[in-house]
Amino acid sequence: MSDQTQQAAGETETHSFEAEVSRLLHLMVHAVYSNKDIFLRELISNAADACEKLRHEALTNSDLIKDDPDFKITLSSDGEAGTLTVCDNGIGMSKAELIDNLGTIAKSGTRAFLDQLANNSNGDDGSALIGQFGIGFYSAFMVADKVEVVSRRAGDSEAWSWVSDGHGSYELSPAADEDALPRGTKIVMYLKDEEKSFADAVSIRRIVRDYSSHVPVPIQLMQMDEESGQLEAEDLTDGSALWTKSKSDITQEQYKDFYQYSSGQFDEPALTIHYRAEGRTEYSVLAFLPETKPFDLFDPNRKGRIKLYVRRVFITDDADILPAYLRFVRGIVDSEDIPLNISREMLQDNPILTAISKGVTNRILSELEKMAQKDEEKFTSLWEAFGAVIKEGLYEDPERRDQLFKLVRFNTTKGENRTLAQYVEDMKENQTSIYYALGDSKEAILASPQLEGYQAREVEVLLLADSVDAFWVQTALGFDGKSFKSVSQGGTDLDAIEKPKAEEETDDKSDEDKAKEQGSLAELITFVKETLGEDVSDVRISNRLATSPVCIVAPDFGPDRQFEKLMRGQKGMQVSLKPILEINPDHGLVLALASQLEGAADKSDLKDGAYLLLDQALILDGEHPANPAEFASRLSKVMMAGFK
């Protein structure tokens, strides 16, 4: 909160908006939107949330609703005055809550929203941004010159008025009893001249029908009857829960409307899962898998977005119903068996919730498997959006790993979106492992020299470029009896796999030349190993290289090279594993070094060559030379000698 001044007249206080709110209001008011209808949807959603919060709080304090137990949202308008009013008898707000909720924004993602809104030049109407980032109240300033909020928190005697024109400040003062509701919130929007059509009853009905027809609180429209001169209430929605209805009675459009209302997203659900479980535990589920990534998909907290109800009473949206790797799923679970007065602490160890969690998780994975079998194109699109998150389950949920293995898709050296079943079916003769390569991107992995021997034998390799890949492959025992093996760790079993006949090269060397060459290579290996000393754990001939002279790999035991890099990046992690340098015995550079080494009296230049081999291998592995200055000096010496 920034500056605050006390007015002499009455008790009105003037507050400046927190900086990001001011910027937000400026952008929203001055941006051009083709769809301003969503402001009413956002206010209705906030009103419904307020009712649900009070319904939950009343479970432990029934006095809060004893005088008015029926929740409702009331809309009214005055065409002549150009006002539109949204009222609810929900939980309401205290003075401090008005300041916190309407004068500041503390939610994560706000800055991202502002940046997207400022750069919103792709032709969309901007409503998706508002829905994604949960700042719907401020959308009222798109249509109103002034907004007045009068709120009384349930159980409080005092009501407060919040008024702003959206130009940098707002006024806060006690509200007179005749201006305030017994409890809840009243929002009065003084519409701009060009937006007064929103005060028309026809427009209000249309917006409610299009955006808020499935809000779980009844919505009424108050209208003046011309004959009687009395206000009459028109029921726009009945507040019935969509998930309690039969699937045959619900249209796809209704599912879509409920998904958008409950999730705050504007795409269409890629998959809708609606069922009722009966037996020892009874509950209803209405879950949606989005088409596009929610903005908070990679939020560090990795919280789920399933709302828990108990017999149609909202309990919490923070229950651990689905594992973190399914956090993109939106929807509700309504239990018949959990006690209504359960606390957050009790929920954490509740056996009924554990059973529900298990059942819902298995059902979602089962539905995903059906989609993969029946509609590969749709599943591929969903996998591209959420595959990196689903793969977290391979590491975190070993109980369901086999089930997840049926879903996961991989980019490989053979193609995109390959299944493990397809990989195993296409394995080469004598191949006993599923080979994988880790890296920062598909392109970086494909440039890795460690792949050369596998590609020369047409052996398929999984290209794993997601951060979680480095973790799950460390714990996965295998698939279909085949173990997972890194192409950059330990020795290989490639000698048992024949190269395609067309690639077999004719060897015209005599046995004597071969023996001499092998002796020279053995001498080179010994020399390089002695020269590099503790910089490497070993130096050896490679059968995984085809065109590159050298590469580095990890030892047989311990982390893969990519996993080691991740550990090195963690604060406080000490990793001291030395790599293995592998040398291509058929490469011209290696053979030239071996030839120079024979009978050489002065081996100082050859020592530079040994270090350059290691530095070259590090660079090919995406790392920097151990000592860049010495690397540059050695390289200069070699280049100068070559240019003489």
- Annotated binding residues: 42, 46, 88, 93, 101, 107-109, 132-137, 185, 344
Q: In 10 A of CB 233, how many CB atoms?
A: 13
Structure tokens at 334: 């309504």
HSE-CB of 96 using CA atoms within 13 angstroms: 1
How far does the chain reach from its first CA to its final CA, in angstroms? 72
- Angle of helix 628-643 relative to helix 604-620, nearest 10 degrees, comes to 120
CA 252 to chain centre: 26
Structure tokens at 97: 């809550």
Tell me, what DSSP letter sits at residue 196? G
Residues 195 and 29 sit within 8 Å (Cβ to Cβ): no
Q: How far apart are CA 488 and CA 561, in angstroms?
A: 7
Exposure letters 445-467 (e unless 16+ CB within 10 A, then b): beebbbbbbbebbebbbbbbbee
CA 520 to chain centre: 55
Which element (helix H / strand E) includes 219?
strand 219-224
Residues 386 and 372 sit within 8 Å (Cβ to Cβ): no
Strand partners, 272: 288
CA 44 to chain centre: 27
Q: How far apart are CA 322 and CA 326, in angstroms?
A: 6
- Angle of helix 38-57 relative to helix 201-211, nearest 10 degrees, comes to 60
Place of tokens 């052996």: 459
Known binding residues for ATP are 42, 46, 88, 93, 101, 107-109, 132-137, 185, 344
Strand partners, 180: none
Q: How far apart are CA 322 and CA 303, in angstroms?
A: 9
Q: How far apart are CA 237 and CA 220, in angstroms?
A: 7
β-strand pairing of 184-191 with 83-88: antiparallel
Q: How far apart are CA 165 and CA 169, in angstroms?
A: 8
Residues 72 and 219 sit within 8 Å (Cβ to Cβ): yes
Q: Name the burial class of residue 66, with classes exposed (0-12), middle (13-18) and buried (19+) by CB atoms within 10 angstroms of its CB.
A: exposed
Structure tokens at 452: 């050369």
Place of tokens 């067309």: 502
